[in-house]
């Protein structure tokens, strides 16, 4: 299950023990809606190993600006509090799974 990312909880999650994957999305974004079920599926498959978060870009404008998010969907991969990978645009499950498994 995904965690809702907010301006308030982001730092704590980013610096947690587990790697963090954040899907930056918007309600009006077609590709975001297309990958949403895949992100949910991977969140379940990697439960206990990776924290998966969803961040609505319109609700977290400060965070989005700080991270330089310019397009949605953008998926950022954090390990040890740092961005270690980034994926911009929609991707299939195989590509996303490859990125998730590289986080372990």
Active-site pick, 21, 22, 32, 72: 32
Active-site residue flag, 60 = no
The residue from 3, 18, 29, 103 that is catalytic is 29
Query: If 0-12 CB within 10 Å is exposed, 13-18 middle and 19+ buried, where does residue 68 land?
Result: exposed
CB 76 within 8 A of CB 103: no
**Most distant CA pair in the chain: distance in Å?**
33
Residue 55 falls in the annotated catalytic set: no
Number of Cβ atoms within 10 Å of the Cβ of 6: 14
Catalytic machinery residues: 29, 32
């Amino acid at each position: 299950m995904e965690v809702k990312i907010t301006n308030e909880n982001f730092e704590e999650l980013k610096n947690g023990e587990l790697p963090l994957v954040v899907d930056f999305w918007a309600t009006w974004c077609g590709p975001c809606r297309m990958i949403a079920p895949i992100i949910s599926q991977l969140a379940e498959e990697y439960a206990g190993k990776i924290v998966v978060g969803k961040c609505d870009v319109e609700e977290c404008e400060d965070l989005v600006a700080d991270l330089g998010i310019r397009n949605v969907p953008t998926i950022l991969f954090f390990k040890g509090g740092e961005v270690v990978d980034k994926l911009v645009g929609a991707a299939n499950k195989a590509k996303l799974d490859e990125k998730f498994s590289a986080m372990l």
